[in-house]
């Protein structure tokens, strides 16, 4: 149980294009999903917290107009990188939270590797 999928797993795009990444919780309902970014040999960096049916909460320094997050249902959240540039090339990982309170375990998707040419 507690499987999170991401699609696509890898994407290469030209500078200036927009890229959409999907994150799905396959066997549970996730009231909260999270989006992270990880550059090579660096720590995971939380970008935003996404709650179903409400606006995402972005971490300081993350541009909400550039990284659009939609959490349309309890099993799907999407991250759209708008007008992508080479510096946006990174490993994007989503996670989904099960339960509430102390049973608030996060399970991670397999990640999406974005390369912007």
Partner 1 sequence: QKEVEQNSGPLSVPEGAIASLNCTYSDRGSQSFFWYRQYSGKSPELIMSIYSNGDKEDGRFTAQLNKASQYVSLLIRDSQPSDSATYLCAVIVSGYSTLTFGKGTMLLVSP
Q: Which residues bind partner 1 (CB under 8 A)?
A: 32, 34, 43-44, 46, 49, 91, 93, 95, 97, 102, 104-111
* C-beta closer to partner 1: residue 82 or 89: 89
Q: Name the minimum Å distance from CB 99 to partner 1.
A: 10
* C-beta closer to partner 1: residue 46 or 74: 46
Ramachandran angles phi, psi of 86, nearest 5°: -55, -35
What are residue 36's DSSP bridge partners? 46, 93
The first and second tokens of residue 101, run together, are 């309170």
CA Rg value for the chain = 14
Q: Name the minimum Å distance from CB 95 to partner 1.
A: 8
DSSP string for 69-103: EEEEETTEEEEEE-S--GGG-EEEEEEEE-SSTT-
Dihedral sign of CA atoms 64, 95, 7, 22 in order? negative
Q: Name the minimum Å distance from CB 64 to partner 1.
A: 17
Q: Name the minimum Å distance from CB 14 to partner 1.
A: 24
* C-beta closer to partner 1: residue 14 or 60: 60
């Amino acid at each position: 149980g507690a499987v999170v999928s991401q699609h696509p797993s890898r994407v290469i795009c030209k500078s200036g294009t927009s890229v959409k990444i999907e994150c799905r919780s396959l066997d549970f309902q996730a009231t909260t999903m999270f989006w992270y970014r990880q550059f090579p040999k660096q720590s995971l960096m939380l970008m935003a917290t996404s709650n179903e049916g409400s606006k995402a909460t972005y971490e300081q320094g993350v541009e909400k107009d550039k990284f659009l997050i939609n959490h349309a249902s309890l099993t799907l959240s999407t991250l759209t990188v708008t007008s992508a540039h080479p510096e946006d090339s990174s490993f994007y990982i989503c996670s989904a939270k099960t339960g509430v309170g102390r049973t608030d375990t996060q399970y991670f998707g397999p990640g999406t590797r974005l390369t912007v040419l």
